[in-house]
Amino acid sequence: MKIIILSQNPNLYSTKRLIEAGEKKGHTMQVIDHAKCDLIIEKRKPGLMYQGKEIYDVDGVIPRIGSSITFYGTAVVRQFEMMKVFSAVESQALVRSRDKLRSLQILSRAGLGLPKTVFSNYSKDVGAIIDHVGGAPVVIKLLEGTQGLGVVLADNQNSAESILEAFNGLQARVIVQEFIKEAMGADLRAFVVDGVVVGAMKRQGKEGEFRSNLHRGGSANIIELSDEEENAALKAAKAMGLGVAGVDLLQSARGPLILEVNSSPGLEGIEAATGKDIAGQIIKYVERNAE
């Protein structure tokens, strides 16, 4: 089969591992920078150009779309779908996953556990917003933040109100969430492929850091999820319509709470922590579904 990886950097660990896993199975693998694609939109034969050449005879696509280029990257994925090419991540699911507020609404509607969350239209009553999530400490997140950037822990009421007022003054969209103290700066990442958890790890933030992101110096270890945690991860991925997803959960006194569902989860941390061939599982998923 001919499988295309949509990635702006062929040297990234995830991209290289997908190429390696695909070639190991005998597939022709090609990396295309989705930012440099031209879309041909016509009635009967939608097409796609890359570096002056038409792309055709593609069996499957694996999107690795960065958050900064979601709009155009999604358009490229949608173009492949119009060309009857199977995508490991559907364009609509990609759009949904990149909208933090919409994602939380979808997960809430699916009956999944979530940290108490408030979003407002620059409300001046910041005190009431903080009270709605149980009071300080609270976590304040920019809607556009990724990899732990734009996430602030406000330890007390005064600092929480000051931070919210500052963001409101800048007209920066934020959500306010309760701080889950018992998580102790750790979260779980469940990697879901085609309705199965193929790997899971526990990420621990470095000392003095409440964010557990590996990009921020956190560490990761393999973990066996409880039945409740595994079911929550699978239900979250299904609710978002994602065939490939990284589901982030917090362990709380009231059960697993979904933090986020990532549509382009990195492979380096999960493969290092679990020792599993996650890239190979994604290739198998494409094989099962590509025509």
Domains for the chain: give ranges and CATH numbers. Answer: 2-89 (3.40.50.20), 117-179 (3.30.1490.20), 182-263 (3.30.470.20)
Q: Identify the pLDDT of residue 121.
A: 85
Name which of 191, 192, 221 is nearest 204 in CA terms: 221
Distance CA 138, CA 160 (A): 7
pLDDT of residue 67: 86
Given this model, what pLDDT does residue 30 score?
A: 97
Q: Each residue of 168-182: pLDDT tens digit?
A: 998 888 999 999 998
Name the band, by pLDDT with cuts 50, 70 and 90, for residue 217: low
The backbone torsions φ and ψ at residue 193, rounded to the nearest 5 degrees and listed phi first, read -130, 120
Distance CA(132)–CA(202), nearest Å, equals 29
The answer, yes or no, to whether residue 273 has pLDDT greater than 80, is: yes
Q: What is the pLDDT of residue 116?
A: 96
Residue 122: the pLDDT is: 85
Q: Using the predicted structure, report yes or no on whether residue 207 has a pLDDT greater than 70.
A: no
Question: Cis before residue 137, ω within 30 degrees of 0?
Answer: yes
Contacts of 196 (CB under 8 A, 6+ apart): 234
- Residue carrying the six token digits 């930012």: 35
The tokens 């969350």 sit on which residue? 117
Using pLDDT thresholds of 50, 70 and 90, give the confidence band for residue 213: low
* Residues sharing a CB contact under 8 Å with residue 117, sequence separation 6 or more, in sequence order: 104, 133, 175, 176, 177, 178
Q: How big is the chain, counted in residues? A: 291
Please tell me the distance from the alpha carbon of residue 179 to that of residue 181, in angstroms, as a whole number. 6
> If phi over 0 gives left and psi between -120 and 50 gives alpha, with beta otherwise, what is residue 128?
alpha
From the number of C-beta atoms within 10 Å of its C-beta (0-12, 13-18, 19+), residue 43 rates as: exposed
Distance between CA 30 and CA 37 in Å, rounded? 14
Which residues does residue 220 pair with via DSSP β-bridges, in sequence order? 203
Q: Average model confidence (pLDDT) for the chain?
A: 92
pLDDT above 90: residue 291: no
Give the per-residue pLDDT at 279. Answer: 98
Distance of CA 65 to the CA centre of its chain: 10
Assigned token pair, 163: 């931070």
Contact 200, 188 (CB under 8 A): yes
Q: Are strands 138-142 and 60-63 parallel, antiparallel or unpaired?
A: unpaired
Mean of pLDDT values over 195-208:
86
Helix (H) or strand (E) holding 45: none
Q: What percent of the chain has pLDDT over 70?
A: 93
Alpha-carbon distance values, 43 to 46, 104, 176, 203, 215 (Å)? 7, 36, 45, 48, 44
Average pLDDT (9-35) is 97
